Amino acid sequence: MTLISGLWLILAQTFSLFMAFLATRYMLFKPKCVQKERIEPEDMYVLSGDGAIISSLSPKPYRHKPPKCSDCASLFMKAYRMRNAGAVIHSHEMESCLATMINPHLKEFRITHMEMIKGIQGHGYYDELVNPIIENTAYENELIDSLAKAIEAYPKTTAVLVRNHGIYVWEDSWISAKTQVHIWLSILVFWILWRLN
């Protein structure tokens, strides 16, 4: 539980959803509709590599809804299986929503000649960073097919933007994933300000 405690406490205050793979055998998920600031390490779901729940949560006393694993579990599993991700973070930060709203017809996010691009694996200052934008759905788990198609169509990508919703970012470790989210949000802020002049 110490490893779970450490991972969760580092990320709980920062991102809305998080999943880490422990030695590629176990995955950690937060419960649905629970404020991240109130979650304790023992509140985390532990899933096996094939998505089976190994450790579920005990119901809380009266006034609390019964716990349920995040609706993002199937989406995170897709990044894990298709890209061998070590960690996946889903963020609803304003920048990720605004970047997809400026031009509702864009299917890709593109930017070049920006210093922060060097922080994205496989990219340099002169490269063009191209990432997919998929359409949002009424329910999170309905994104799975479009997410899978985007991951397949963009082999260099480590992130997918969801219009009017947020961003999914994956990397080989939770440390790299956390860093990538910060880099992505910086890139998106600069792009938004540039587009709005």
How many CB atoms sit inside 10 A of residue 6's CB?
Answer: 12
pLDDT of residue 96: 95
pLDDT of residue 114: 94
Which residues contact residue 39 at a Cβ distance below 8 angstroms, ignoring those fewer than 6 apart? 8, 12, 30, 31
> How far, in Å, CA of 58 to CA of 43, rounded?
8
**How much is the average pLDDT of 142-164?**
96
> How far, in Å, CA of 196 to CA of 113, rounded?
18
How many residues are listed for the chain in this entry? 197
Asked if residue 24 has pLDDT above 60, the reply is no
pLDDT of residue 25: 65
Backbone region of residue 113 per phi and psi (left: phi > 0; alpha: psi in -120 to 50; beta: other values): left
pLDDT of residue 51: 74
Kindly write down the DSSP assignment for every residue of 135-191, as one continuous string: ---SSGGGGHHHHHHHHHH-TT-SEEEETTTEEEEEESSHHHHHHHHHHHHHHHHHH
The tokens for 121 are 């694996």
pLDDT of residue 32: 72
Residue among 27, 33, 32 nearest 8 (CA): 27
Catalytic residue among 115, 128, 140, 142: 115
**How much is the average pLDDT of 41-56?**
75
What helix, strand, coil percent values describe the chain, rounded to 5?
Answer: 40, 25, 40
Residue among 100, 103, 121 nearest 188 (CA): 100
Note the pLDDT tens digit of each residue in 96-132. 999 999 999 999 999 999 999 999 989 999 999 999 9
Note if 93 is an active site residue: no
Domain ranges of the chain: 1-196
Alpha-carbon Rg for the chain, nearest whole angstrom, is 17
Phi then psi for residue 16, to 5 deg, are -70, -35
How far is C-alpha 2 from the geometric centre of its chain's CA atoms? 23
Homologous superfamily assigned to 1-196:
Class II aldolase/adducin N-terminal domain (3.40.225.10)
pLDDT band at 71 (very low <50, low <70, confident <90, very high): confident
Backbone region of residue 35 per phi and psi (left: phi > 0; alpha: psi in -120 to 50; beta: other values): beta
